[in-house]
Amino acid sequence: MSEWITGLTNVMQPGVVLFLFIGVMAGLIIGILPGLSATMGVAILTPLTFYFEATRGFAMLIGVWNAAIFAGGISAILINTPGTPASIASSFDGYALYRQGKGGLALGVNVIYSAFGGIIGCLVLVFFSFQVARFTISFGPTEYFALAFFGLTMMMAVAGDSMLKGLLSGFAGILISTVGLDPILSVKRFTMGNINLYDGVQFLPVMIGMFGIGEVLSQIFVHRPSEEAAENELRRTHLELGRVLPTWKEMKAFSPLTTIFAFFSTIVGAVPAAGADIASIISWGQARKWSKRPEEYGKGSLEGLAVSTVANNAVLGGALTTMLTLGIPGDAVSAVLIGSLMMYGMQPGPKMFTEDKGFVINIMLLMVLANLAFMVIGLITAKLSAKALNVNQRTVWASVCILCVVGAFALNSSFFDVGVMFAAGLVGFVFKRCGYAPGPFILGLLLGGMLEGNLRRALVMSQGDVSIFFTRPVSCILLVFTVLTFFWPVIKGMLFRKKRIDGM
């Protein structure tokens, strides 16, 4: 208990609270503007936080993350364009409510239920992560290899439209992670005589490039001035937003479904790579089946909006549980946070719960505070936030370009990192145009070292005998899950075919 009180004292320091609020404000703007994702925001701001004390730096990043996910719902409601992928389901009912003159109420529901979902996710994080960490403390290289492999295949299973391209992207990421000094024998690999590559291809400049420059180039490429003009015109004609706060009666009516889907989404978030977009779409679809008024869903149902917004923020607690206890990213943002923790000299995983327990508690408390902070700011600025949508896209493009250069350089004061960032930006653009999701590539790059290091350490332990992965129960179960996930589309196809034949 004393550790929690110390943690609370740490996070309530004026400096930490200030950075949290700065992060929330930044996240609010990033989330509102379509095209600026939470991942991009956290990736660009991460280099900045290295110059702060760890708790302050993390306060800012956690503020950005939580606020950007909730704020994505604002543009989903007001212009039918989700600010972040997590808010896709919010546009189903949110935009219809806005067209009915209930935009203010939709914005209020978005704030309140995002915070509610976020807090439920945090509670799960607080109550379960220590137990999970206690269980995983006995994990060795075999389990970590199996875990990293499982995380990777889960990512590929949800990687864009093409599984083959997702696999290619992910394996290419792992392949690039082999550049640099060999983790066991310290032999130079594929460095081509460049001293900057001895440490390997750094993950953060690649991330900044792919999600920053790559996204800007992609947006410029597909930009349609006529659509932009139509959206501006639409905003001008729908200025009335109405009341913001829902009534007690309305909130009471939503509470059973929102509570159920808050817990459900937290579990979804804990599954590596199953992100907020998936959780909110599944929750919205399932809630419609269970609702007393399913016919209203998609046509302006406040309940539908509440369920989808609960889901997008509840996921974060689950993703953080996986990240902190296993060192496996639950989504793209938690992948950046892993990189960030490593820069502070901490290694996410069960050992962090003993070696840096105080900091783990700080992160948990910051998550709760971030939800409360964005709820307060979100409600105060609900109507004002609509104005942020008027920012010209060209201003955003120019700003992101400069911030990407500054952020990539600030990581290590290295121009080489800027070059890597720029190259990754071009690759990110080509990936996007050719239908390759950048997510698996980033994940592969991040998990590659963990995969290889643990695979080879396990083989050392077993004197080269690969059966070690199947004789240890946890790694065996994880590998079975991995194979099932990998072949799930095939198995599903076979099962459906059998059902169809049986039914004939």
The residues that touch another protein, with contacts defined as CB under 8 A, are 48, 51, 164-165, 167-168, 171-172, 174-175, 178, 182, 184-185, 187, 189-190, 213, 216-217, 220-226, 392, 394-395, 397-399, 401-402, 405-406, 409-410, 413, 415, 418-419, 422, 426, 430, 433-436, 451-452, 455-456, 459-460, 462-465
Min separation Cβ 493 and another protein, Å: 16
DSSP 52-100: S-HHHHHHHHHHHHHHHHHHHHHHHHHHS--SSGGGHHHHHHHHHHHHT
Decide whether 80 or 462 has the Cβ nearer to another protein.
462
DSSP 259-298: HHHHHHHHHHHHSTT--HHHHHHHHHHHHHHH-S-GGGTT
Decide whether 228 or 240 has the Cβ nearer to another protein.
228
The phi and psi torsions of 101 (rounded to 5 degrees) equal 85, 15
Of 196, 322, 328, 215, the C-alpha closest to 268 is 322
Min separation Cβ 211 and another protein, Å: 16
Decide whether 347 or 392 has the Cβ nearer to another protein.
392
Location of structure tokens 């007393």 = 292
Decide whether 261 or 441 has the Cβ nearer to another protein.
441
Task: Provide the terminal-to-terminal Cα distance of the chain, rounded to the nearest Å.
Answer: 63
Min separation Cβ 249 and another protein, Å: 47
Min separation Cβ 409 and another protein, Å: 6
Decide whether 172 or 343 has the Cβ nearer to another protein.
172
Min separation Cβ 239 and another protein, Å: 25
Min separation Cβ 23 and another protein, Å: 14
**How large is the angle between the packed helices 302-326 and 248-270, nearest 10 degrees?**
30
Report the C-alpha gap between 103 and 235 in whole angstroms. Answer: 11
The phi and psi torsions of 181 (rounded to 5 degrees) equal -75, 135
SS3 percent helix, strand, coil of the chain, rounded to 5, is 80, 0, 20
Decide whether 1 or 434 has the Cβ nearer to another protein.
434
Which residues face 188 on adjacent strands? 181
Min separation Cβ 53 and another protein, Å: 13
DSSP 483-495: HHHHHHHHHHHHH
Strands 180-181 and 188-189: antiparallel
**HEC string for 96-111:** HHHHCCCHHHHHHHHH
Decide whether 351 or 457 has the Cβ nearer to another protein.
457
Decide whether 214 or 349 has the Cβ nearer to another protein.
214
Min separation Cβ 157 and another protein, Å: 15
Decide whether 291 or 412 has the Cβ nearer to another protein.
412
Min separation Cβ 105 and another protein, Å: 36
As given in the structure block, the two tokens for residue 305 are: 């909006």
Of 319, 346, 349, 344, the C-alpha closest to 334 is 319
**How large is the angle between the packed helices 2-11 and 54-79, nearest 10 degrees?**
70
